Structure formats: structure tokens, C-alpha cells
A = this chain, B = another copy of it.
Amino acid sequence: MSATAKKAAAGAANVPFAFRAYTPDQLRGVLHKMHLIRKFEEGAEDSYTRGLIHGTMHLSIGQEASALGICAPLKADDQITSTHRGHGHCIAKGAQVDRMFAEFFGKTTGYCKGRGGSMHIADVSAGNLGANGIVAGGIPIAVGAALSAKMQKNGKVVVCFFGDGANNEGAFHESLNMAAIWKLPVVFVCENNGYGMSTSTARSTAVERIADRAAAYAMPGVTVNGNDFSAVAEASTTAVERARRGEGPSLIETKTYRHRGHSKSDRNRYRTKEEIEEWKAMRDPINLFEAELQQFGVIDEAGIAAVRAAVEAEIAAGIEFAKTSPAPAAAEGLNFVYTELQ
């Protein structure tokens, strides 16, 4: 039992899970990563505006606690599949922001050597099998990775991220069913930010709670506050442990919100300014987490400022790395199409 945990057990009964399960150092690490995700995306957004990044991107600002809470119980060699809104997942699973920036800048030092960009960001060595441009495209792949884990008896657990919009794709249904009948070590995580692009879950989805669909696959389903790191980490821990014990898959719905538009071309016509402002002001996951950390004495104002400063430096260095990295040569266009082409 950690020091924080002991203190907590000695104190109030309803100390949040994270403060029982993790050391202060670990919790400060989580805060660091929360800021890292936020600043990474702000940095990417800014670079996009300056014309340094082309294409489009999907920012997860406002959803950082979900990515970090879910990845909290994962080991280094556990695996995830991610989505078009996958920067947070990537950082949460252990990627470095310099190589992520390099990817966005289309450089050879990027995680995908400039071939994938934001929508295909990955870090296979850290267990991230990749974001996916196809809504729900990663769900069956996660099930396949979990089947591998079971066949190879390597003890790995696979986490499969997807959005509320993805829950209406056929791939969701087929995948959850197979994972259930084969009792695979996979955790399905539906990050419900209320909208699939412009379409609210109320307009797209027949049930109110997506976690209720778990019953159709005879697996546990739970809905948690996705902006509460501790709540997410607790749900994830339960599900990951269940998977690790060989008892099969679970479905976690993390209720959250994206502050930014769907992508760079969104004009936010499907939701109100008030709604956005309310989430930003009242339910920002970083604000909530910082308040909690202070409440439990894990960090003070100065500590927070230090985290922010460290993150800023990391981001600035990352962007610099990306800028100065080489772009792929035109002659390398066919690389990686086939393995024999390198």
C-alpha cells in the first residue's frame, strides 16, 4: 500500500480511488501528462494555423482525463487501438511529443515517417497500434490483438478506444460479440463526448447510456464521469484486471466533452456557445484534477506552475525537433507499401 493510500485509509472513508491507488509522484506524473496532452494539441493547433501542418486534425482538448484514466492501469506492453481523436491516447500510452510533432509536420522522424499524420498517429513500440481514420475501424483490430494475446498466453490486455458515434457502426456490434464469446482480454472504451461530428447521441443512438449496450454482449458495462481522472482510472482498473484474469471483455463509457470543433473545418452550428462554455468553466478535467490534487495535498500552486513550465519546454523542444527534421524524399514514395520495399 502506498503512502498516499495509507494516509487516505487513515483519513476519510471516501477518498477517491486514484488517491488510494497511486503515489503522489505518480499522481503528479498524471498531471504532467494531462498538461502535455493539452499543450501538445494547442501546439499542433497553432502550428496548423501557421501553415506548418496541413490536412486536418481532431483535438481531444477537454477529454484528457479519459485517455489518462483508462491507460493508468496498463503495463508498457499492453496495447491500445485508438481513433481519429487519438493524440491523447498516444501520449497517455507513452509516446513522445517530439516524434508526434514530427509526424504532424510530415517528417521522416515522425512515428509514421510522415506517411500517416494526425489521423494515423501510432507508437507501436509503446503499444499503440494506431489511430484510425475509419470510425470503428480499430475495434475489430483490438479484438484481434486480444485474440493474439490469448493465443500467445502473454498476459497482455488490449484497450480499444472509440467514440459515441462509433457505437452505431456494425463493427462495434460484431467485435463486442466476438470478444464476449471468446472471453478475450480486451476493454472497450467508448469516449462519449456527446456528438459524432455534429450528430448528438440523442439523435443517433437509440439508448441513452451507451454502456447499457454491454448487456447485449453479456459483458459488464459502466458509465463514468470521463472528466474525473480517478473515476475513469477506477473503472479501467476493474476492467483491466478482469481481462487480465481471463474473465473477458468489459465496456466502459466515459462521459466527456470536446472543447474544440470536430475538426479544423467545424463551425459548431450543432451546439450552443453556452454549452461549450459551461463545460470549459465547470468541468474541465485539468481544473478538476488540479483542485483534487491540492485538496489531498499532493501538489501546491508552485508545483502546478512547475509542471506547466516543464510541459511548455517539452512542447517547444518538440516543435523545434519537428521543424528541423528532414522530410521524406520524393523517391521514397513507394517505401512501406510492401515489406520488400523496405
Contacts and interface: CB of A to CB of B under 8 A. Distances in A.
A325 interface: no
Nearest to A214: B216
A217 B217 CA distance: 13
A330 interface: no
Contact of A177 (B205, B215, B219): B205
A173 B170 CA distance: 6
A168 interface: yes
Nearest to A202: B181
Given A213-B216, A216-B216, A181 B169 contact: no
A203 B177 CA distance: 11
Interface string A218-237: 11000000000000000000
A165 to B, nearest CB: 12
Contact of A172 (B173, B180, B212): B173
A287 to B, nearest CB: 34
A194 to B, nearest CB: 16
A171 interface: yes
Contacts of A171: 170
Contact of A205 (B169, B181, B212): B181
A25 to B, nearest CB: 41
Contact of A206 (B170, B180, B205, B212): B180
A285 to B, nearest CB: 29
Contacts of A294: none
A313 interface: no
Contact of A216 (B169, B174, B207): B207
Contacts of A263: none
Contacts of A217: 206-207
Contacts of A218: 206-207
A180 B207 CA distance: 9
A204 interface: yes
Contacts of A205: 177, 181
Contact of A215 (B169, B176, B215): B215
Nearest to A206: B180
Contacts of A206: 176-177, 180-181, 216-219
Nearest to A204: B181
26 contacts: A168-B174, A168-B177, A169-B170, A169-B174, A170-B170, A170-B171, A170-B172, A170-B174, A172-B173, A173-B174, A176-B206, A177-B204, A177-B205, A177-B206, A181-B203, A181-B204, A206-B216, A206-B217, A206-B218, A206-B219, A207-B218, A212-B215, A212-B216, A215-B215, A215-B216, A216-B216
Q: Which 8 A-B pairs have the closest CB atoms?
A: A170-B170, A173-B173, A180-B206, A216-B216, A206-B217, A213-B216, A206-B218, A177-B206
